Chains A and B, each alone.
Chain A
Amino acid sequence: DTAVSQTPKYLVTQMGNDKSIKCEQNLGHDTMYWYKQDSKKFLKIMFSYNNKELIINETVPNRFSPKSPDKAHLNLHINSLELGDSAVYFCASSQSGGTEEQYFGPGTRLTVT
């Protein structure tokens, strides 16, 4: 069974559109994350949520709006997409947000044209 799942796997869209990426974890973890990975493989945290509450917003433009309807889900909505938003977006989860491993989803490759 997939521990952390994301949909869609690929997303191709035009500038100015609005899109969402969904994430679910079935590990019973309290903390979930969104990361952005650029073309050089640099992995940077965007958001952290703990028990549905936003904890970290790492200076991400407010065009990005995460939503956590429950502990098992953390979705990412992006408004007015820009070319620079093209990247691979990873959802992850961990038990409590402390010094522990994170479990990553398979990623969503977003291409903005």
Chain B
Amino acid sequence: GESVGLHLPTLSVQEGDNSIINCAYSNSASDYFIWYKQESGKGPQFIIDIRSNMDKRQGQRVTVLLNKTVKHLSLQIAATQPGDSAVYFCAEPSGTYKYIFGTGTRLKVLA
């Protein structure tokens, strides 16, 4: 099913700490997931993706974990910096030519 935006969850993290942003997805048949970062006044920007044949994928300071058993996705950001402050979305395809986005999580980095 589609996510319903009730309110935007916020995660506040001290600069230098690690951040973990969670996402629950709905379709157990989904085989691909993306994380996007949306800074204030800008469009979403690709961070990292993962296919369902993997449990973990690492990028530069970011790691995505996929738990297919509980349909859960997480984005871990190491040594969080002020520039990481943004809204983060997970997205999954719904057939071709269509993606379903999660409700988003606002990450606030505290100095």
Contacts and interface: CB of A to CB of B under 8 A. Distances in A.
Interface of A: 4, 31, 33, 38, 40-45, 48, 50, 55-56, 58, 90, 92, 97-99, 101-107
B98 A56 contact: yes
Contacts of B101: 42-44
Nearest to B93: A99
Interface of B: 2-8, 31-32, 34, 36, 38, 41-46, 49, 51, 87, 89, 93, 96-101, 103-104, 106
B44 A40 contact: no
A103 to B, nearest CB: 7
Nearest to A4: B43
B103 A42 contact: yes
Interface centre among A42, A50, A58 (most CB of B within 10 A): A42
B42 A99 contact: no
A75 to B, nearest CB: 17
